[in-house]
């Protein structure tokens, strides 16, 4: 009988769905952290490292409030055209971003960290190369209308789970990483920690 308690320090519906789909029992406590402050002191040339650092900061913030739980923090960064891309604030921004990435490649980096008793005990990152197809403005308009403002919650202004799959011609990497969590390494660590049965 597994008795360790897991807390997900994320409000991401995709991460919640991944863990639920894998049969993991957990509760949610959203980490209240200043992501901009973390980004300001991090090397912008290291987007994968930033994804891990944001995950670590979130896991620690919740672990300090709930030290007896195992806390999973996660975050994702998007590297495109030599820089980091942030979440769009408006649908107009989302449209412009998708137009700029059309026909080009970008990289997604999904970081995760596990904290216990106010200490990070594990962290990791996985990366995926994404190539968008040269979709038409007509398709883009239909996509934005179908998905709506939920796209503002995604760093790339797309969700691969649905119609967003039509934006791409190739994805080189793990599907779960695209959704925002390096699931296989996370599950391995949860087994090691005794949160999941071995």
- C-alpha–C-alpha distance, residues 87 and 145, integer Å: 18
**What single-letter DSSP state applies at residue 7?**
E
> Are the C-beta atoms of 183 and 22 separated by less than 8 Å?
yes
- C-alpha–C-alpha distance, residues 174 and 171, integer Å: 8
> Are the C-beta atoms of 196 and 24 separated by less than 8 Å?
yes
Helices within 72-182 (DSSP H only):
91-101, 137-147, 175-179
User: If DSSP codes are grouped into helix, strand and coil, which group holds residue 62?
Assistant: helix
The catalytic position among 43, 46, 68, 75 is 75
Note if 75 is an active site residue: yes
**What single-letter DSSP state applies at residue 86?**
P
Catalytic residues: 75
């Amino acid at each position: 009988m597994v008795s360790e308690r897991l807390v997900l320090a994320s409000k991401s519906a995709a991460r919640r769905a991944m863990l639920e789909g894998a049969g993991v029992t957990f509760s949610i406590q959203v980490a209240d952290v200043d992501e901009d402050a973390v980004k300001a002191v991090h090397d912008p040339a290291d987007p994968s490292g930033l994804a891990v650092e944001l995950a670590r900061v979130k896991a620690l913030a919740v672990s300090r409030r709930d030290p007896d739980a195992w806390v999973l923090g996660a975050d994702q960064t998007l590297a495109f055209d030599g820089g980091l891309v942030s979440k769009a604030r408006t649908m107009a921004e989302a449209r412009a971003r998708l137009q700029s990435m059309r026909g080009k490649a970008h990289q997604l980096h999904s970081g995760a960290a596990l904290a216990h008793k106010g200490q990070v005990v594990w962290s990791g990152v996985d990366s995926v190369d994404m190539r968008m197809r040269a979709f038409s403005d007509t398709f883009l308009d239909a996509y934005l209308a179908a998905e709506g403002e939920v796209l503002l919650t995604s760093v790339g202004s797309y969700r691969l789970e649905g119609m967003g799959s039509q934006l791409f011609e190739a994805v080189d990497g793990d599907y779960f990483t695209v959704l925002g969590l390096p699931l296989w390494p996370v599950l391995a660590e949860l087994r090691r920690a005794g949160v999941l049965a071995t």
